[in-house]
Structure 1
């Protein structure tokens, strides 16, 4: 501010009756007003960069009444700029890169400086740039701050880092202006402007002739002044005597060339190889080709050293063939091996028995002839893979191995046979010439022209057979019915012997049996039942025998009914005969569960009739000390007499000391498969009142038909 502003009212007569007040931006802090004169003053130094404009409001009021004498006035105070701020760069230190060998004027980086002064007022904020350090390599544009290269062919290999100092000055660079500086660190990046170079022109290595392919022999390295991918080197063998015997690969980490063996060496054939190895850069910039070819070459000499080598077979593997019917000591073929050294030591042969555990083959140790020592079977093993060993006689440590594959050729020595077990059925209402089964055959042999089977019924079954065989000429055959209708009660099963023959030499044949069951079928030909037991017993029982069996069953049922009636009329015996005959009965149970067999006490019948105690009587509620092993009675077969079977079981139960006491019902049943008869039980007979109703036995009449497949028996002891 050039001068302090002043506020004066026309109502002010100078008698001190008016009072001036100030409000707005900075009032009372930055700005104060003299309440008597109205002069406005600044209390602090003002900075335009902090706030360029202030808005104030002033008013004159009556000192006594406090009322304004005039409307409020507004003042706008603008702060004029002075050059009190120097240019400041956006970064204290700049970092930049530029490729080496760049042309003059190549852009490097742009620096920027700002001035806080008012750019619209004078030259306080006008900045110009100049370079204080970094000539003659770099230059800067005064108005933009762009740094460029100023020297041609700057070489990174000579100098890589540069430090440039740039100055920014305001007032347009005039005298008296303020300035600021910054540092720019510039790095030259590498370009491929240097070819690889071998430090020496000739290299020499040695390797034994036994070195396998891939064995490293030595390393060579060419140097390259560049870095990164520009220093990557590829090695190659361009010419020489061992062009096809050796190879060179590049170690990507060390950039070395590794010479390796490519093929097996032989000291006796060649002792020294000369190679020309070339090193080149894979990444070449065309603009530097004028500097010359970016590659170099060196000579590599490789000397092969002699070693004592094992015998070498004439082949890497041998394949031989022999017929499976060859006799023992039949020669199959031979193998050959010799010592590759100049001494030509003699060789002996042997079979590695780990590969021929059964000693099926043998070898002549002198000439390598392979012959059989056992009979062969192609169907057991088609290929025999064995190993033959060749060993120097003068140096047994030198030996080599070779695989020998022996294929056993097929001879027709196995007859064809059914591919599976055939069991089929024919419907009782089948028509003639109806296909009921398709047959297939297999043969362990493997003829050259493939299998050709023929099918036919055996001569003994061809005449009078109820079925025919039709050969389909495709290694299958069909079984056809020969008549209309079959009766399973007359013949339930047919066994058809079928002869199968092959078409090889010598002809082999076998006979297989096809089981055909006669079954009842529905109208669609689906099998329903193949059993004829309901009408015809498997053993051929006549109708009279079946009637006799049924009469036995009826007799047994009548016996059961009479026994139940007698038991119902039996008078109950009182538990206590007289009042004096009262005794304590201590009953001990050692485990859970109920029933008379669980009670470890004396016979409760003693309480009813003490005089009836018989010491010699066998207690049936206590297991005797002697061990009675249970006797297994063979199950009744279909042809077993039912009456004998039931009597035998009754007798066994009556004499069995381990049988349960008192009332018990033992059922002996042979129901057969699929019986629909219900079971009988007398579990309710153990009730305390002893009056068991056996009227349910009268229901057996309607069930008589169901009992055709079941035979049973009831047993009870004498006390029941």
Structure 2
């Protein structure tokens, strides 16, 4: 040890000594009576600020003892002369440093009263309060025994008798004491145990023999039980279990034995002495404090983990006449890391295959004698040499404490077939003592395996412009065989090509474009496109390489206005404006900033301002009426490339002006005919068409034959209907919904009206053909004798349509019934299927949001000029309807 360390240690030792001396008094002076009784408290060794430290006290005078708290007590009766009495007290701390305290006793000048002796009968005249009675515990027979005689002062003037009551007399323990009534003699009738009844106080009463009234105040009588040494000391529970670190220094405190004695405290009956009967070569015990300390520094847990030491405790200060007891103290040694882990072999060898990763190469067993499962036992392995490139790692098996050597990166036999590692085994806890961590060499052989082709470089970077022509060679990517160092016999294939842009030449590894490369494609990230190429040698071994294609941008995208449909909110006195934003998929310098120009047809009505790179403000140049406007705007990129685009602007008064959430205020109801008006007109026309069909049917059944002077000699055959039919009257204000009916069965119309054999017909030019929902019609024109052209419609459900060659065996009645069915179904849809085929033709309620319409209600149109049961409306059906009426009239005149 260096001189500096010795000096430093000495200074610390001196400081500690001084600190201890400062808190332990060197002298104590106390005043005591001339005759000091046993158990008298003389004084106390006050350790002051050293209470945080533990002290053990002893005395050099056998007449005195020192309790663990420093209290000095007499063990036997001691007389103090006029010169006084001196003795010493020793104080010892946990480090076994001792300090001497000189105690000086001087007596007081007041004489001490003689002590009352027991067992002598005395009569106390004129004193109703006798001193306490002392009775030795467990005194031997015979019984009863006389204790004292009491006498009341009132017995001088009158005749009295005495009685006693209370503990020991009338309460527990009952019947121990009695009193003779006339003489006042107190007697004890059996032995008592001081440990059960240390003091008994009962009451004595004096009564007049004649009046039986008390002649004096009640007298309390105290009986003190004198202790005898009848209880041996006993160990406190669990006070014999101790732990101490192995290899502790000599004098290290192991613990303190605690014992108790039921006899009277602070007397020699309870002064316990501690003696070790076994284990004295390793441990020692302080005689009166019971503190056990180490006596040797050779305690080794790995040799013996527990030591059993027999301890004797004896009262009377260890005197031979004292009572004793024995017990076994168990001292367990706690572990320290005084044993480094050791390898079972001096060196290790292993073989590892090349191109292997995360593979266990070797298990390295070690042995550690320290306590299993603790930080002193757990091993940490470190590779101190040979792992500069990070190919290996060593883990620890938590169960066996073995080292697990793994290869973390693939090894190449061609780069090195032999590797040397050096491993060190350490513990989690630092090593105690002069030992050192052990190390062991590991010899690794790298096996040789047939490997697949290897691309060089592993990642090939190419640069190409987008939109290059198909078949352009953009680069070559080849691989070599690591065994032969050549690329002979290697074939190349596409492994991954997300956009199918590149083809790989099987023999040369050339990379050619097969599709147009687009930098703005979803397969391109940050202008880069990845693909992989697979190389296969003659032994079918494979290797993968990555091609990173950097795509240079070209100006192949025009700027586009992101939101072409906008709503412009106009305010009173302020011309409204909106901000247009544009985007260009191309990158700089083919993108922003953009230039904005207004189309010629919008000049004077609109204007552009505040252009900021990718946005511009479109504003009204003049006040414009509400409505929808198409504004042409030309947007060009930084290179001047762009085209005209149309911005659809809805100009209105807005309810909200939040950008992007503009909403127009609902306009008042317009006087222009709306949807419901159009539907009402269509419904009226449908009713008129039904009436027309009915009228034609009536006309066609007047005669058997109806001649049409059209030059063809054709005629219509009379139907089986002999009269126009019953007149059907309907409420002009009520629209009836017909029930769905089946189409006219053209295959079974035996009772229908057909064409006569002598009827000639001439088909004119086919004008119109209609197909819908399984129903087909064709329109035909016939020239009548009057030179007018009539058009009728024929129809058929389910199959084909009418040809251009005439009626084709279909009757006129079938035609009109089919038309009637078609119109009836449509009217039925009007009433029943709002979401069906004709849902848009239905009448719907129009929300009333303002003042009434200037044209009035449409309901009036259905009633205007219509009288119940009147057919005058047929006079105003139009020229075509008049032509049909003329045909029927002409037929009637011919019959006449």
TM class, shorter-length:
0.5 to 0.7
- Return the match for 1:511 from 644, 651, 655: 644
Greater Rg by CA: 2
Contact 1:19–1:62 under 8 Å retained in 2: yes
1:675, distance to aligned residue in structure 2 (A): 7.1
Contact 2:499–2:523 under 8 Å retained in 1: no
The equivalent residue for 1:130 is: 275
1:120, distance to aligned residue in structure 2 (A): 5.1
2 CA distance for matches of 1:75 and 1:676?
A: 117
1 CA distance for matches of 2:342 and 2:844?
A: 107
Say whether residues 1:301 and 2:443 are aligned partners. Answer: yes
Normalised TM-score (structure 1)? 0.67
3-state SS of paired residue (1:181): strand
Q: How does 1:128-167 map to 2 (within 5 A)?
A: 128-167=273-312
- Return the match for 2:198 from 52, 55, 59: 52
Q: Which stretch of structure 1 is more off in the superposition, 357-366 or 528-537?
A: 528-537
1:217, distance to aligned residue in structure 2 (A): 0.8
Over 3 Å counting, the alpha-carbon distance change for 1:628 and 1:657 in structure 2 is farther
Over 3 Å counting, the alpha-carbon distance change for 1:26 and 1:311 in structure 2 is same
The equivalent residue for 1:557 is: none
3-state SS of paired residue (1:79): strand
3-state SS of paired residue (2:271): coil
- Return the match for 1:173 from 318, 326, 342: 318
Say whether residues 1:314 and 2:462 are aligned partners. Answer: no
Q: How does 1:188-267 map to 2 (within 5 A)?
A: 188-212=333-357, 214-227=358-371, 228-240=374-386, 244-267=390-413
Q: How does 1:541-552 map to 2 (within 5 A)?
A: none
Over 3 Å counting, the alpha-carbon distance change for 1:92 and 1:625 in structure 2 is closer
3-state SS of paired residue (1:512): strand
- Return the match for 1:349 from 489, 492, 513: 492
The equivalent residue for 2:533 is: 388
1:140, distance to aligned residue in structure 2 (A): 0.7
1:79, distance to aligned residue in structure 2 (A): 1.9
Contact 2:498–2:523 under 8 Å retained in 1: no
Residues 117-155 of structure 1, C-alpha deviations (whole Å, 9 max, x = no match): 22355x222211111122111111111010111123222
Say whether residues 1:339 and 2:456 are aligned partners. Answer: no
Contact 1:429–1:486 under 8 Å retained in 2: no
3-state SS of paired residue (2:275): strand
1:624, distance to aligned residue in structure 2 (A): 5.9
Say whether residues 1:411 and 2:525 are aligned partners. Answer: no
2 CA distance for matches of 1:620 and 1:233?
A: 109
1 CA distance for matches of 2:459 and 2:379?
A: 42
Q: How many residue pairs are counted as aligned between the two chains?
A: 568
Contact 1:427–1:527 under 8 Å retained in 2: no
Over 3 Å counting, the alpha-carbon distance change for 1:139 and 1:619 in structure 2 is farther
Normalised TM-score (structure 2)? 0.55
Q: How does 1:32-43 map to 2 (within 5 A)?
A: 32-35=178-181, 38-43=184-189
The equivalent residue for 2:33 is: none
Over 3 Å counting, the alpha-carbon distance change for 1:53 and 1:707 in structure 2 is same
3-state SS of paired residue (1:172): helix
Residues 447-488 of structure 1, C-alpha deviations (whole Å, 9 max, x = no match): 4364243333446x38x8544556847344455666x66678
1:199, distance to aligned residue in structure 2 (A): 2.1
The equivalent residue for 1:568 is: none
The equivalent residue for 1:649 is: none
1 CA distance for matches of 2:283 and 2:306?
A: 12
2 CA distance for matches of 1:92 and 1:669?
A: 102
1:216, distance to aligned residue in structure 2 (A): 2.2
2 CA distance for matches of 1:9 and 1:359?
A: 133
Q: How does 1:420-439 map to 2 (within 5 A)?
A: 420-423=563-566, 436-439=577-580
2 CA distance for matches of 1:197 and 1:42?
A: 80
The structure, 1 or 2, with the larger RCO (C-alpha pairs under 8 Å, 6+ apart) is: 1
Contact 1:436–1:478 under 8 Å retained in 2: yes
1 CA distance for matches of 2:149 and 2:586?
A: 133
Q: How does 1:599-638 map to 2 (within 5 A)?
A: 616-618=726-728, 627=741
Over 3 Å counting, the alpha-carbon distance change for 1:101 and 1:374 in structure 2 is same
3-state SS of paired residue (1:713): helix
Q: How does 1:363-512 map to 2 (within 5 A)?
A: 363-381=504-522, 383=524, 384-392=529-537, 394-396=538-540, 398-423=541-566, 436-448=577-589, 450-458=591-599, 461=601, 465-469=604-608, 472=611, 474-479=613-618, 495-504=630-639, 508-512=641-645
Over 3 Å counting, the alpha-carbon distance change for 1:659 and 1:411 in structure 2 is closer
1:619, distance to aligned residue in structure 2 (A): 7.9
Contact 1:675–1:706 under 8 Å retained in 2: no
Residues 411-470 of structure 1, C-alpha deviations (whole Å, 9 max, x = no match): 222332323215566979989xx78454443223334364243333446x38x8544556
1:86, distance to aligned residue in structure 2 (A): 0.9
Q: Which runs of 5+ in 2 are unaligned?
A: 1-117, 120-144, 655-661, 678-723, 744-771, 773-822, 832-841, 871-896
2 CA distance for matches of 1:657 and 1:117?
A: 121
1:331, distance to aligned residue in structure 2 (A): 1.6
2 CA distance for matches of 1:265 and 1:126?
A: 80
2 CA distance for matches of 1:659 and 1:130?
A: 121
